[in-house]
Amino acid sequence: MSNCIIFSMPGNEKISNSLIKLLHAETGKSIIRHFADGETYVKVLSNVYEKEAIIVCSLHQPDNKILPLYFLAKTLKELRAYPVTLVVPYLAYMQQDKSSSVGECISSGYLGELLSFFVDKLITVEPHLHHHNSLNEIYSIHTSSLQVSPLVSKWIDKNIQHPILISHDSESEQWISKLAAGANAPYIILGKIDKAVDKGTPSLLEEYKEYIPVLVDDIITTAQTMIETIEQLKKVGMKPPVCIGIHAIFAAKAYEKLLNAGVEKIVTCNTIAHPSNAIYIDELLAQEICKNSFVIY
């Protein structure tokens, strides 16, 4: 892509460099730092005139990233880059998509309005769409939501012998069933009762004692439900599980707690940089960037 220039927000250098190589794109040069008083300084060093400027920024822990991202995008627009595309492997605030009481902020919608104001296109991976059918209900710009189920299934099929996929949430059955089919593996939905793993679980698992349990979730935040599930697996005498998550949030030392719970392995996609990354979305993103370069406004 000869007219494409890729800028990396701090912390996204690894995936940005991979995309630059895959797309044969120009490396965008900028300075993003903070003054002594904590305010943000942004300067674009590259010539971006009439080039497609792509900003790579995963919005894990978003509050400290959004203002510098805004400054960079607006500066690129001022320098006549067009379009400005945001590649955001992990899109924050998607779980806060419904008001449960008067006065409660529906932050997914507000962030959608904000990002739509200062970028022209957005590409993300497996956004948490719970009360929405698509990002088009939230964003007024062109958006792409990439699915990584085939990549996860392929990793399971290649790396685990005799896997049994296990999910705690009945709402995820359609997703888990697709993963299992792609991995040529059976699956079980344990269900949840008052946010605790179903106490009837052991009887469901007796016939799968010789299988490798694979616990799968889209976002691993506290890992508490996975840890509770592992305890149930221990009671029935199953093998240590492999835990797979798409987005590696791992808040409050959740990664260490999950390791200590007795797992065989923890695997995540590289939507958020983390030592557990083993399923890579780089080529998927590169293909979508190429496809989106033909979107006409």
CATH number at residue 108: 3.40.50.2020
Q: Taking residues 61-78, what's their average pLDDT?
A: 97
Do 273 and 164 reside in the same domain of the chain? Answer: yes
Confidence tier at 195 by pLDDT (50, 70, 90): very low
> Is residue 233 in some structural domain?
yes
Residue 297 is assigned to a structural domain of this protein: no
Q: What is the pLDDT of residues 205-249, one digit of tens each?
A: 788 999 999 999 999 999 999 999 999 899 889 999 999 999 999
**242 and 276 Cβ atoms separated by less than 8 Å:** no
Please write the tens of the pLDDT for every residue from 107-156: 999 999 999 999 999 999 999 876 677 898 999 999 999 999 999 999 99
| HSE-CB for 55 with a 13 A CA cutoff | 33
Claim: this prediction has a pTM higher than 0.85? yes
Write out the two tokens for 190. Answer: 């344990």
Contact by Cβ (8 Å): 224, 196: no
> 297: pLDDT confidence band, cut at 50, 70 and 90?
low
- pLDDT one-digit tens code per residue, 247-256: 999 999 999 9
Task: Kindly state whether residues 242 and 176 are assigned to the same domain.
Answer: yes
Say whether pLDDT at 193 is over 50.
Answer: no
Domain coverage including residue 118:
4-147+281-292
| Residues 158 and 248 placed together within one structural domain of the fold | yes
Residue 201 is predicted with a pLDDT of: 59
Pair (8, 131) in one structural domain: yes
